[in-house]
Amino acid sequence: MGFVMTESSGPLSQKLFSTAKQYIPGGVNSPVRAFRSVGGEPFFARRAKGARVWDVDGKDYIDYVGTWGPAILGHAPISVIEAVHTAAKDGVSFGIPNPYEVEMARLVCEWVPSVQKVRMCNSGTEATMSCVRLARGFTGRDRIIKFDGCYHGHVDALLVAAGSGALTNGKPDSAGIPASYAGLTTVLPYNDVEALERTFAEVGHEVAAIIVESYPANAGLILPQPGYLQKLREITQKHGALLIFDEVMTGFRLAKGGVQELENITPDLTAMGKVIGGGLPVGAFGGRADIMDLLAPDGPVYQAGTLSGNPLAMAAGLAQLREMEKQNGYARLDELGKIMDSAVAEVLKKTGKEYQYYRKGSMFCLFFTSKQVHNLGDAKTSDIPAFRKFFHSCLKQGVYFAPSQFETGFISLAHSADDLARTAEVVQQALSEA
């Protein structure tokens, strides 16, 4: 059987995608994978190792998606693979407490400044959902404040003016969410102190919590203005509301203690995930002991999960975190990031593009706009048609960035100086063509 090539996939990927669409909505199990924002069809992965991924047609790519963040050591690191093999020999799941989850809880509480107690779950969505429920149970209030473009998983109360896949699909709000749910969520522009103060002056007594991606990374990568995160901390304390940091992406990636360590901010609750699972499904949430003690079985706030604390995920995550510590990983990643900074600056100069580039540690984003990006509105001034051309040019040359302008890129410890140099060459050619 013959297949027509597209600019984004080979014959076998095309066949798989065609079959997948018969049995999976949209042919994918997460919307942004469908390439709707950039056009064409997705490639299907066969395997991944280090900084590279191979598709089913045999082509390899330098990968800056890193399974959307968890692959901080690179793909299939030996220490993680061996840890999973060892754990699997004793059983892949128990539904009974196991030693790995106790060790993970201890490590999280040691590494994250604000976390006195932590509970494991199975995804970042579960983690943010549980934080919101816990905040409402603790305060006795219903209103939640979130920020335009911040994505906190597909939680009904939080899938309002969201970023990432929802934004990419042009549907920042989802069908199927009752208006009464959305009515309890107030959405503000990120980095806007006046809007924050005005809202608390009007409804501060109703606010259970602010939830924020401390460095929003689902609308590109947006950094807080000086003092902004401290303002969130001060205003919530003043009004008796909780501050929830969504560190699903930034936690354990930018520093051992995440953004709260870097910014010296102590939130009340923190949602975590990705890196602490070593590539396996995972989530966690933790915070002040007096708040966490409201969880069942000790308190009235119910939360549960059959696979929570799964031994394979815990073993993988522990191995990854220990390897990061052993290799002084965060400092090394920042050095790689600085190399990329210099390369991007040189490429932009050579191509004459006045695009905005932001990086923090091993996370980065190139916005196709000359406007400084402080919030979602700024991010949406990006030239999306130019990004589409750029994406496909890079893909054709063997460099894989996320298939959306509104996503963050990730560097891993497996990326080499040669990888970064080759990437700079590809990016220069792609920008010239775009």
Could you please report the per-residue DSSP string of 103-144?
A: HHHHHHHHHSTT-SEEEEESSHHHHHHHHHHHHHHHH---EE
Per-residue pLDDT of 47-77, as tens digits, reads 999 999 999 999 999 999 999 999 999 999 9
Least confident range from 107-111, 118-122, 151-155, 427-431: namely 151-155
Confidence of residue 3 (pLDDT cuts 50, 70, 90): very low
Q: Which domain holds residue 297?
A: 78-325
Per-residue pLDDT of 324-347, as tens digits, reads 999 999 999 999 999 999 999 999
Cβ–Cβ under 8 Å, residues 54 and 47: yes
Question: Is the pLDDT assigned to residue 172 strictly greater than 80?
Answer: no
Q: How many domains does the chain have?
A: 2
Which residues touch 94 (CB under 8 Å, ≥6 apart)? 311
Furthest-apart CA atoms within the chain: distance in Å = 67
Shared domain for 338 and 359, answered yes or no, is: yes
Question: Is the pLDDT assigned to residue 4 strictly greater than 50?
Answer: no
The label of the residue with tokens 């199975």 reads 122
Confidence of residue 156 (pLDDT cuts 50, 70, 90): confident
Helix (H) or strand (E) holding 358: strand 356-360
Shared domain for 29 and 147, answered yes or no, is: no
Helix (H) or strand (E) holding 365: strand 363-367
* Distance between CA atoms of residues 229 and 249, nearest Å: 17
Task: Look at residues 300, 325, 350 and tell me which one is the last residue of a structural domain.
Answer: 325
Shared domain for 263 and 123, answered yes or no, is: yes
Shared domain for 119 and 240, answered yes or no, is: yes
Cβ–Cβ under 8 Å, residues 55 and 45: yes
pTM of the model: 0.94
Q: What percent of the chain has pLDDT over 90?
A: 88
Question: Is the pLDDT assigned to residue 6 strictly greater than 70?
Answer: no
Shared domain for 39 and 179, answered yes or no, is: no
Cite the active site residues.
151, 246, 274
Buried b (16+ CB within 10 A) or exposed e, 243-264: bbbbbbbbbbbbbbbbbbbbbe
Predicted pLDDT of residue 163? 52
Per-residue pLDDT of 190-228, as tens digits, reads 999 999 999 999 999 999 999 999 999 999 999 999 999
Per-residue pLDDT of 256-290, as tens digits, reads 999 999 999 999 999 999 999 999 999 999 999 99
Nearest Cα to 60, choosing from 76, 75, 45? 45
Cβ–Cβ under 8 Å, residues 188 and 195: yes
Helix (H) or strand (E) holding 165: helix 164-168
In a domain, 28, yes or no: yes
Task: Look at residues 280, 308, 325 and tell me which one is the last residue of a structural domain.
Answer: 325
Predicted pLDDT of residue 87? 98
Cβ–Cβ under 8 Å, residues 192 and 179: no
Shared domain for 299 and 333, answered yes or no, is: no
In a domain, 303, yes or no: yes
Nearest Cα to 246, choosing from 149, 358, 328, 321? 149
Phi/psi for 305 (5° steps) reads -170, 125
Per-residue pLDDT of 86-134, as tens digits, reads 999 999 999 999 999 999 999 999 999 999 999 999 999 999 999 999 9
Helix (H) or strand (E) holding 292: helix 289-292
Task: Look at residues 302, 325, 348 and tell me which one is the last residue of a structural domain.
Answer: 325
Question: Is the pLDDT assigned to residue 433 strictly greater than 80?
Answer: yes
Question: Is the pLDDT assigned to residue 171 strictly greater than 60?
Answer: no
Shared domain for 265 and 387, answered yes or no, is: no
The C-alpha angle 323, 329, 331, rounded to 5 degrees, equals: 160
Shared domain for 381 and 255, answered yes or no, is: no
CATH code where residue 122 lies: 3.40.640.10
Mean pLDDT, to the nearest integer, of 294-319? 97
Q: Letter for the amino acid at 302?
A: Y
Predicted pLDDT of residue 162? 52
Shared domain for 301 and 409, answered yes or no, is: no
Shared domain for 280 and 299, answered yes or no, is: yes
Q: What percent of the chain has pLDDT over 70?
A: 95
